[in-house]
Structure 1
Amino acid sequence: MKAVILKDKVKMGGKIAPLYYEDVEIPKPGQGEVLIRLRTASLNRRDVFIRYGAYPGIVVPSIPGSDGAGIIEKLGEGVQGLEIGNEVIINPAIGWGDNPSFPSPSFSVLGVPMDGTYAQYIKIPAENVFPKPKHLTWEEAAAIPLGGLTAYRAVVTKGTVKPGDTVIIPGIGGGVATFALQIASAKGAKVFVTSSSDKKIENAIAMGAAGGVNYRSENWVKELKTLSGGADLSIDSIGGDTFNDLIHLAKHGSKIVSFGATLGPVNNLVMPRIFFKQMHIMGTTMGTPDEFADMITLFEDKQLRPVIDKIYPLQDIDEAHRQMDHGNLFGKIVLSIPE
C-alpha cells in the first residue's frame, strides 16, 4: 500500500523532519482489530508539531495522521458488531480507560507512535470504529474526529453549555474552534468570536455566530464586552495575554475551558480577578468513547457539516503540511487517499 512515513526524529526548535511517500506492507488485523481501507484522512496541528519534535514519545518509522474514514475490509478474531463493507469513521483516542474524568496511563492519540491514517489501509481496535454519518461526504467524515471530539468535550462535558449561554471563542478559524462554534450554536448558545481577519469573522457569522471583533483593534476587549455582555463560557486555545482578556470578559460564576496555548504561558495573572468572580477554569484534551459517540449523534441529529478549507491528494502531503503550518485557514485540510 501507499503510505506517508516519518523516519527521522528532530530536536524541538530545529528543522522540520521530512516525510516520505512510499510502498509499505498492508497491516494485518489482530485480535479485536479491524482493517480499514481508508478513503480520506485529515490534518491536525499535532501532525506538524510531531515533525518539529514537539511531542514526547515519538517513535520512527511511523505513519502520521489521526483522522480518517473508510470501509472495513477485514475483521480480526473476536470482533463483533461490525461487518466487512461497513462505512466507518475512526475515533483517534486510543485506550482512554474507565475513568471519564481523565485518560489512563496507556492512553495515546492515533498517528505516531501507533501508525495512523496517512495511508491506504489502517488496522485499528474495533472499539475505535463508529458508523460514518450518512449525510456526510467522505471528506467531511474524515474532517471530524480529533477536532470534533476535543470541541465536544470542551463545550458540552466541561463547559456544560446551556441554551441561552454566551460563549466566546477567540482565534476562530482553526478546526477545533470551528467545531466549538458549531456545537455551541447547535446547543442553543449565543457565540461570539475573535480573529485578526474580518473575513474569518464574516465566515463565523455565516456559520451561526452572533457576532465577532477583530483583536487587532486597540479596544477589542471593551468592544467585545459591550457586544456580548460577557461570557458564561470561553473556549480557549490561545493562552498568553488572551487568557487574561478572557478573565476580564467573564461573567461571575462563568467558565474558561482551555485546550491549547499557541501564545504560550499566561503572565501577570491576577488571581483575585478569578476568585472574586467565583470562576471555574478547566483543562481538557481529546475525550472518551461515549463523548465521541455523543458528538457523532449531535452531528447526525442537527445535520451538521464540518468546514473544509482545502483538499489535497495524499501524495501532496508536504504542501498540505505547509498550508497547515503557515496558511491562513478557516476549517480543516483533508487528504484524498488513492484507490
Structure 2
Amino acid sequence: MRAIVHENENGLDGLTVKDMSVKQVTGKEVRIQIHTAGMNRRDLAVVTKRHTAEDPPLIPGSDASGIVEAVGEQVTKFQPGDEVVVNPGLGWQRKSAAPPQGFEIVGLPDDGTFAEYYTCTEDHVERKPEYLSFEEAGVLPLAALTAYRALFTRGNLKADQTVMLPGIGSGVLTFCLKFAKAIGARVIVTSRSTEKQKEALKLGADVTLSTEEDWNNSLSSENVDLLIESIGNATFNKSLDIVRKGGTIVTFGSTTEDEVKLNIRQFFYGQYNLLGSTMGSAEEFREMLHFVTEHHIRPQLDKTFSIDEYLQAFEYIRDSKNFGKIGFKIV
C-alpha cells in the first residue's frame, strides 16, 4: 500500500511516500480502506520531534474515515462494506478524570492513518454518521473529540454562559465554536487574521476581536465564564485576566511556549479554575458522534490534499493557513 512515511531525517525532510506492507487481520482486528485521513497539528509535532536515527519508519496520522475491507474471526461489530470512522485514542475506554496509564494516540508510537489501509481492533472504530461525507467524517475524530471533552466534560459549558476562544482557526476551536452555538451559548473569538474573524462570524460567533488588542478594553461589558486556551505563553495571562472571578480556563494545547509565569495571588483571590484536557475516551467519542448527529454539525473543512501533496499539507498547517480542518483524500 502507498503511505506517507517519516524516516531518516528530523522534520519535514524525513517525509516521503513509499510502499508499505498491508497488515493481515486476526482476532478482533478490522482493516479499513482509508478514504480520507484528517490532519492535525499533532502530526506536525510528531515529525518535528522524532529522533529518527533510533526510530523505525513511521506512518503518521490519527484521523480517518473509510470502508471496512476485512475482519478477523472474532469481530462482531462490523462486516466488510461498513462505513466507519477511526477513534484516534488507544487504551481509554470509559470517561474518567484523566487518561489511564498506557493511553496512546494513533500515529505514534505505532503506525497511523496516512495510508491506503489502517488496521486496528474493532473497539477503536465507530460507524460513520450517515449524513457526513467521507471527507467530512475523515477530519472529524481527534479535533471534535478534543473540543467535546474540553467544552463539556471539563468546562461544563451551559447554554446561558459565555465561552471565549482565543486563536480561532484551528480544527479544535472551530468545533468548539459550532458545539457551543449548538447548545445556545454566547461565543467570543480572537484571531490576528481579519479574514478568520470574518469566517468565525459566518459560523455564528457573537463577538470577534484581534488576539493582539486589549481584551479588557474591548470586552468591558462581557462576562466570560469559560475560556478555551490553546496558545500558551503568548496569551495565557491575558486569558486569565479576562475570565470572570470564579470562572474557568481549560487548556488542551500550546502553539507558543509551554511554560507560563503565573501570579498565584491574583489566581487564588480570583477563585479561578484551571483545568487540563487531553482528547477523550471512547465513551466520549461516542457521545460526540451522537451530539454532532443530533445537531447535524459538519466539520469546517478547509482543504484536502492528495497523498503526493504531503509536503504542501504539512507546510499549510505549520503556517496556520487553515481555517478549520484539512486532510488527505486517499481514495
TM-score range, shorter chain: over 0.9
- The aligned residue for residue 334 of structure 1 is 327
* Cα pair 2:188 2:208 within 8 Å, conserved: yes
2:274 maps to which of 237, 258, 281? 281
Shift of 1:99: 6.3
* Cα pair 2:95 2:280 within 8 Å, conserved: no
Give the 3 Å change call, closer, same or farther, for CA 107–309 of structure 1 in structure 2. same
User: Partner amino acid for 2:287?
Assistant: D
Residue aligned with 2:92, SS: coil
- The aligned residue for residue 229 of structure 2 is 236
Give the 3 Å change call, closer, same or farther, for CA 55–163 of structure 1 in structure 2. farther
Shift of 1:9: 5.5
- The aligned residue for residue 123 of structure 1 is 119
> What is the count of residue pairs matched by the alignment?
330
- The aligned residue for residue 104 of structure 2 is 108
* Cα pair 1:309 1:333 within 8 Å, conserved: yes
Asked if residue 43 in structure 1 is aligned to residue 36 in structure 2, the reply is: no
Residue aligned with 2:36, SS: strand
User: Partner amino acid for 1:278?
Assistant: Q
- The aligned residue for residue 4 of structure 2 is 4
Give the 3 Å change call, closer, same or farther, for CA 70–243 of structure 1 in structure 2. same
Query: TM-score, length-normalised on structure 1?
Result: 0.93
- The aligned residue for residue 160 of structure 1 is 156
Give the 3 Å change call, closer, same or farther, for CA 190–30 of structure 1 in structure 2. same
Asked if residue 294 in structure 1 is aligned to residue 287 in structure 2, the reply is: yes
Give the 3 Å change call, closer, same or farther, for CA 19–95 of structure 1 in structure 2. same
Alignment of 1:1-339 (within 5 A): 1-8=1-8, 10=10, 15-53=11-49, 59-96=55-92, 100-217=96-213, 219-226=214-221, 229-338=222-331
Shift of 1:17: 4.0
Provide the C-alpha distance between the structure 2 equivalents of 1:87 and 1:120, rounded to a whole number of angstroms.
Answer: 15
Provide the C-alpha distance between the structure 2 equivalents of 1:165 and 1:290, rounded to a whole number of angstroms.
Answer: 25
Give the 3 Å change call, closer, same or farther, for CA 204–115 of structure 1 in structure 2. same
* Cα pair 1:241 1:266 within 8 Å, conserved: no
* Cα pair 1:17 1:52 within 8 Å, conserved: no
Shift of 1:27: 1.2
Shift of 1:298: 0.8
Give the 3 Å change call, closer, same or farther, for CA 101–38 of structure 1 in structure 2. same
Deviation track 1:125-171 (CA, whole Å, cap 9, x = no partner) reads 11111110111111100111110111110000000010111000000
* Cα pair 1:97 1:104 within 8 Å, conserved: no
User: Partner amino acid for 1:110?
Assistant: V
Provide the C-alpha distance between the structure 2 equivalents of 1:55 and 1:109, rounded to a whole number of angstroms.
Answer: 18
User: Partner amino acid for 2:282?
Assistant: P
Provide the C-alpha distance between the structure 1 equivalents of 2:191 and 2:42, rounded to a whole number of angstroms.
Answer: 21
Provide the C-alpha distance between the structure 2 equivalents of 1:55 and 1:273, rounded to a whole number of angstroms.
Answer: 40
Shift of 1:16: 3.6
Residue aligned with 1:67, SS: coil
Shift of 1:8: 2.6
Shift of 1:216: 3.0
- Cα RMSD between the aligned structures? 1.8
Query: TM-score, length-normalised on structure 2?
Result: 0.95
Provide the C-alpha distance between the structure 2 equivalents of 1:59 and 1:221, rounded to a whole number of angstroms.
Answer: 47
User: Partner amino acid for 2:197?
Assistant: I
**Larger RCO (CA within 8 A; separation ≥ 6):** 2
* Cα pair 1:59 1:113 within 8 Å, conserved: no
Residue aligned with 2:290, SS: helix
Structure 1 residues not aligned, in runs of 5+ = none
Provide the C-alpha distance between the structure 2 equivalents of 1:4 and 1:46, rounded to a whole number of angstroms.
Answer: 15
Structure 2 residues not aligned, in runs of 5+ = none
Shift of 1:89: 0.5
User: Partner amino acid for 1:30?
Assistant: T
Shift of 1:327: 4.2
Residue aligned with 2:168, SS: coil
Which segment is superposed worse, 243-252 or 85-94?
A: 243-252
Residue aligned with 2:270, SS: coil
Provide the C-alpha distance between the structure 2 equivalents of 1:122 and 1:130, rounded to a whole number of angstroms.
Answer: 14
Provide the C-alpha distance between the structure 1 equivalents of 2:260 and 2:305, rounded to a whole number of angstroms.
Answer: 39
User: Partner amino acid for 2:15?
Assistant: L
Moved over 3 A (4+): 265-268
Residue aligned with 2:142, SS: helix
Residue aligned with 2:49, SS: coil
Give the 3 Å change call, closer, same or farther, for CA 269–76 of structure 1 in structure 2. same
Provide the C-alpha distance between the structure 2 equivalents of 1:193 and 1:54, rounded to a whole number of angstroms.
Answer: 33
Deviation track 1:181-208 (CA, whole Å, cap 9, x = no partner) reads 1111112210100000111111111111
Q: Percent identity?
A: 36
